[in-house]
Structure 1
Amino acid sequence: MQLHTHTWGEGDRVALLIHGIMADHRTWRRVAPALAERGYRVIAVDLRGHGASGRGAYAPELFADDVAETLPAGAELAIGHSLGGLTLALAVDRLKPRRAVFSDPAWHLAGPVEGMGPEMFAEFKTAPKEQVQAMNPRWEEADVDVELATLAAWDEATALSLTPLLGADLLPAAPVVPSLVQLADPSFLISPERAEILKSRGFEVRSVAGAGHTIHRDDFDGFMASLEGWI
């Protein structure tokens, strides 16, 4: 499936952005312009079932196939957040970016953790603004408004499609390209033990102190600082 994309900047270097569950390209409202200022042409997708992209069957392999079909190979940089990190991992051998950043990637779905199972994600589609604010007290109001808009455009069946992955070990065996794993503090997806496994497999791992799962909205400055040497 060809995905809807949004582009910022006209730089010679290309950066690819892949959002997480419930979001779309608008989640990168601060990251994309910051990369464009650094000389990148930034391309962000809406995954199937999200934003302005089409609907259909849902599975991580299909998300990855769509991304590989839509985005250019050989980019300077690719960043995937959460589900986008899983998607990037499954497509990185085809996209072949020079560097990959996996931001709190969904590589281990242990089941409902603090109410964050697939069913709870699906129910969150109708969350009121007050609930979004309460769950994300560090977000700017603009990010809360973006979250409400992307929830309205999102097909919650995408979350339910992840149920078969509960308990599966989705950690990549090795990085296909030089790769940074950027973690929330704490991360409910990548435990300290799994972080050590990733290091042993050749990934660089960095945590953003005190940041929640959506690092780029919870602590934008910390997110950008942790990318030093990678962007």
Structure 2
Amino acid sequence: MLRSLALAGVCVMLAGFALSSPVPPLSLSERLAAPGGASPLVPTERIDALLTRLPHQQGSVAGSDGVALHWLAFEPGDYRLDYRYLGKGERFPEFSLDASAPKAADVQPPRGTVILLHGWMMDGGSLLPWSLELAQQGYRTIALDLRNHGRSGHGLSGYGTREGEDVVAALKALKAEGQISGPVHLLGVSYGAATAIFAARELGPQLRSVVAMESFDNAGQAIRTMVPHMLAKPPERWSDYVALPLARWQYGGRGLDEAIATTDRKLGIDLDRIDVGQALAQVPACVLLIHGRDDEHIPVAQGRALAAAAPRARYLEVPAEDHLSLPMRLDRLSGAVNAWLDQADANGRCASTVTADL
């Protein structure tokens, strides 16, 4: 069983930037420029233990500028997925997950391929529940580790822009290797959702549909809303009583703008000009946007702004879910996501309405 696996791209990039650590803490600009390590929310050892029981493929392909990108794939079949959402818990949402290798009679030819893209400080394994759920629906699923994450190589972060170019390059390489079957869909969470939208703009008619959960609309604005939210949280450890007041003093007011400007220089980009809505408006594929109404990391206003920027996109706002819980609610969202993919596969048209289970 896997418990307490936050598969959301929770933007925990800031949660520990000034907190106690066996190594010197990273500055905010350093944390914004690159993850600086994996999130403790990802129980890598337990994921790997489950993977040893499940048939899968993995490998590496080159990204847009030669960055090695690790991928993890599952064939369609009945994995007897046992998934249960256990609630929000004391600190983070929790669920249990178990699965088994499909029997030979349960294996089926792919009806299409879904590329899954994780959030900041996560990896492809963090999307294992969705990988297996969609594999059970008949899709070949391929979870990519984005650059600077998991087993992939390192390169300049692009807040979805460079990562989107990586996805385009990876898809081309995977096609050449015979890893892609049928129509292609993208499913991304948070940072991965923004990446999916940038990739979809470049892929054009090569792509059938996109599911983007809790994407930000503008990178700079997302950081300006997320940092104060993270720093407003009450202390959870003794070290927080010192670190949090220091961080609030250092990154309050102009300190946050200065950290963003420093990050701009490190990455050679302007975070305030990374406009996901503008890219979304140019995507020809069907796009389903999903946002939790209680999201405080990437406030729901950003999800609504994305929807307003692209009238062709469909927007699903889910009550009582936040940035951490939303992608974990397979019980509420799998029906909507499966129906969305079904509709796109059936005739290439975007579904007119989308609803979540209440």
TM score, norm. by length of structure 1: 0.71
Q: Say whether the 8 Å CA contact 1:3–1:45 is kept in structure 2.
A: yes
Partner of residue 62, structure 1: 162
Partner of residue 87, structure 1: 195
Partner of residue 185, structure 1: 293
The 3 A distance-change label for structure 1 pair 162 and 112 is farther
TM-superposition CA deviations, 1:129-180 (whole Å, max 9, x none): xx9xxxxxxxxxxxxxxxxxxxxxxxxx9xx859831475431224320111
- 1:26-37 to 2 correspondences below 5 Å: 26-37=125-136
| Letter paired with 1:216 | P
C-alpha separation in 2, matches of 1:178 and 1:6 = 25
Q: Say whether the 8 Å CA contact 1:175–1:201 is kept in structure 2.
A: no
Partner of residue 3, structure 1: 69
1:216 aligns with 2:327: yes
- 1:75-154 to 2 correspondences below 5 Å: 75-95=183-203, 96-109=206-219, 110=221, 111-115=223-227
Q: What SS does the aligned partner of 2:195 have?
A: helix
Q: What SS does the aligned partner of 2:227 have?
A: coil
C-alpha separation in 1, matches of 2:184 and 2:166 = 20
| Cα deviation, residue 91, structure 1 | 1.3
Return the structure number with greater relative CO, CA threshold 8 A, min gap 6. Answer: 1
Q: Say whether the 8 Å CA contact 1:4–1:53 is kept in structure 2.
A: yes
| Letter paired with 1:194 | A
Alignment: residue pair count: 193
Q: What SS does the aligned partner of 2:316 have?
A: strand
C-alpha separation in 1, matches of 2:130 and 2:330 = 8
* Structure 2: 5+ residue stretches without partners: 1-62, 77-108, 176-181, 241-262, 342-358
C-alpha separation in 2, matches of 1:104 and 1:3 = 23
The 3 A distance-change label for structure 1 pair 86 and 51 is same
Percent identity, aligned pairs only, is 22
64-73 or 99-108, larger mean C-alpha shift: 64-73
The 3 A distance-change label for structure 1 pair 65 and 193 is closer
1:39 aligns with 2:138: yes
| Letter paired with 2:271 | L
1:170 aligns with 2:276: yes
Q: What SS does the aligned partner of 1:27 have?
A: helix
79-88 or 207-216, larger mean C-alpha shift: 207-216
| Letter paired with 2:167 | V
3-12 or 26-35, larger mean C-alpha shift: 3-12
C-alpha separation in 1, matches of 2:115 and 2:71 = 10
| Cα deviation, residue 62, structure 1 | 1.9
C-alpha separation in 2, matches of 1:27 and 1:162 = 29
Q: Say whether the 8 Å CA contact 2:75–2:140 is kept in structure 1.
A: yes
TM-superposition CA deviations, 1:156-208 (whole Å, max 9, x none): x9xx859831475431224320111111123434417515514x621100012
C-alpha separation in 2, matches of 1:221 and 1:163 = 39
C-alpha separation in 1, matches of 2:307 and 2:114 = 28
Q: Say whether the 8 Å CA contact 2:74–2:141 is kept in structure 1.
A: yes
Runs (4+) of structure 1 exceeding 4 A deviation are 160-163
166-175 or 80-89, larger mean C-alpha shift: 166-175
| Letter paired with 2:127 | W
The alignment's C-alpha RMSD in Å is 3.1
Q: Say whether the 8 Å CA contact 2:187–2:212 is kept in structure 1.
A: yes
Max Rg structure: 2
